[in-house]
Amino acid sequence: MKIDTKKHIKPLRLRGLPADLRERIKDARTKRGWGQRELGAAVGLPQPHISSIESGEVVPRFDTLLDMLRVLDLDLLLVPRSLVPAVQSLIRAQNEPESVEKPLYAADEEEPAQQKDRDEF
């Protein structure tokens, strides 16, 4: 029995880029010290169009989105859904160095205090 996959997939027409993607684009632009006009000039779009993309009013063509991401030193990756939490965790760890887990072994300056506690028992 052959299953018709098209029957089970509903077409999705985006009304705007997802909010987190728009926010990442805006953050990358501001980290470069660019306004919307500078990003537009780098990609070949007018500033109002960049504004419309960032606000979610306009969905850019795929090639325009890729151009914007590449100019901002970002990339678009396809990740299996089951791995999305792991990838998001890696991104958070890269963006927040203080959130990186502590080493398994105590630092040299912590060892005497721990040794003292063990000697008391």
- Residue 1 in domain: no
Within-domain flag for 109: no
What's the confidence (pLDDT) of residue 7? 63
Residue at 86 is within a domain: yes
In a domain, 9, yes or no: no
Which structural domain, as residue segments, surrounds residue 54?
14-99
Identify whether 118 is part of a domain: no
What pLDDT sits at residue 11? 63
Q: Is residue 119 part of a domain?
A: no
What is the number of structural domains in the chain?
1
Residue 38 located in a structural domain: yes
pTM: 0.64
Contacts of 101 by beta carbon, 8 Å cutoff, 6+ apart? none
**DSSP run (H or E) holding 96:** none
Q: Is residue 112 part of a domain?
A: no
Provide the CATH number for the domain around residue 38: 1.10.260.40
In the prediction, which pLDDT does 3 show? 63
Q: What is the pLDDT along the chain (121 residues), one digit of tens a residue?
A: 566 656 666 666 778 889 999 999 999 999 999 999 999 999 999 999 999 999 999 999 999 999 999 999 999 989 999 999 999 898 888 877 665 565 666 565 555 555 555 555 5
